[in-house]
Amino acid sequence: DVKVTQSSRYLVKRTGEKVFLECVQDMDHENMFWYRQDPGLGLRLIYFSYDVKMKEKGDIPEGYSVSREKKERFSLILESASTNQTSMYLCASKTSGNEQFFGPGTRLTVL
Amino acid sequence: AQSVTQLDSQVPVFEEAPVELRCNYSSSVSVYLFWYVQYPNQGLQLLLKYLSGSTLVKGINGFEAEFNKSQTSFHLRKPSVHISDTAEYFCAVSGPNTGNQFYFGTGTSLTVIP
């Protein structure tokens, strides 16, 4: 069965901290994505990766970076967390058949 | 870039009544269309997708959607809803011209009333 896992379901951090959100997929997909989800705004793409060590900016990359050292793992990094980055973060990977599979999400609160 | 409009942010409906959740997208070029469902505190799960072929697409849990190219719409329907259908529903667009990107609507919160 297809599986995308995220390292934490809930996370609380302080302003200025460096935050790592991890995502792992077991489907050998080349494409992986990070979104943030906010009420009334839907899902907005932060970054995506189409291969190991390759990345592309999405619609809202400011304040974020990513790392893809291995095919199965895609990390989202908040270099210096701010309160406006409090959100739900969703990771996804994509099949060649254009279907995205989502992880359960990480609800991040920055105090 | 593509844009996706879900006109209704909240839809309350009585149990066993029919429901339609509306979705319109911006581009008339070749597109792939998706509906996802999100239950509380969970990630998104694919309900159905249109890639090509028949414009009427059937998905899981009794949902179906119709691709209407002339109206650039992909409305989601179910003839009789259950309490368990209460969730957030997202329409999404992708396609050969969007690279690998998916564009999501802002979501429709469906509440089924007993």
pLDDT by residue (tens digit) across A5-29? 998 999 999 999 999 999 999 988 9
Residue position matching structure tokens 């990630």: B43
List CB contacts (< 8 A) between A58 and chain B: 101
Which residue in A31, A30, A101 sits closest to B36, CA to CA? A101
Residue position matching structure tokens 């489907």: A27
Identify the residue with better confidence: B76 or A39.
B76
- Indicate the Cα dihedral angle A89, A93, A99, A105, nearest 10°: -20
Q: Assign residue A84 a region (left: φ > 0; alpha: ψ between -120 and 50; beta: otherwise).
A: alpha
Identify the residue with better confidence: A11 or B53.
A11
Distance from CA of B97 to the nearest CA of A (A): 13
Q: Residue A38 has which token pair? A: 């906010």
CB A85 within 8 A of CB A108: yes
List CB contacts (< 8 A) between A92 and chain B: 44
Give me the total of CB pairs closer than 8 Å, taking one residue from chain A and one from chain B. Answer: 57
Select the residue of A43, A56, A103 nearest B104 (Cβ to Cβ).
A43
Give the C-alpha separation, B48 to B100, whole Å: 19
pLDDT by residue (tens digit) across B10-42? 999 999 999 999 999 987 677 899 999 999 888
- Cβ pair B106:A40 closer than 8 A: yes
pLDDT of res. B52: 86
